[in-house]
C-alpha cells in the first residue's frame, strides 16, 4: 500500500516518489488542539533541517478540513 494524495496546490503526492528518503508524516487538523500546539515545533524542525540541506521531506495529512480551511490555518500559523 502506498500513501498518496493531493497537496494544497492540487498537485499529486505519493510516498513512492520519496523512496529511500526520510519523510516526516504528520496527521493533523485545525480542529485538534494537540495538532495546533505541535505546529510551531514541527515548523522549527523543518526550518532546521531544510536550512542544513538535509534530505528530509515533511508532509501533513489532513482529511477533515477542506483545502481552503487547511490552507487558511497553515497561513495563519505561518507554516
**What digits encode the pLDDT tens for the residues 42-78?**
999 999 988 777 888 899 999 899 999 999 999 998 8
The overall pTM is greater than 0.75: yes
Tell me the CA distances in angstroms from 65 to 3, 14, 26, 35, 46, one per residue in order. Answer: 18, 20, 14, 13, 22
Judge whether residue 1 has pLDDT over 80.
Answer: no
Neighbours of 15 (CB within 10 A): 16
Q: What is the pLDDT of residue 42?
A: 93
Q: What is the pLDDT of residue 2?
A: 87
Q: Which residues are bridge partners to 61 per DSSP?
A: 27
Task: Quote the cell numbers at residue 42.
Answer: 514541527
Q: What is the pLDDT of residue 26?
A: 95
Average predicted confidence (pLDDT) for the chain: 91
Amino acid at each position: 500500500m502506498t500513501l498518496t494524495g493531493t497537496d494544497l496546490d492540487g498537485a499529486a503526492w505519493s510516498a513512492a516518489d520519496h523512496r529511500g528518503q526520510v519523510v516526516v508524516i504528520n496527521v493533523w487538523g485545525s480542529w485538534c488542539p494537540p495538532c495546533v500546539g505541535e505546529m510551531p515545533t514541527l515548523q522549527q524542525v523543518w526550518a532546521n533541517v531544510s536550512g542544513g540541506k538535509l534530505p528530509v521531506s515533511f508532509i501533513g495529512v489532513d482529511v477533515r478540513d477542506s483545502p481552503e480551511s487547511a490552507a487558511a490555518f497553515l497561513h495563519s500559523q505561518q507554516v
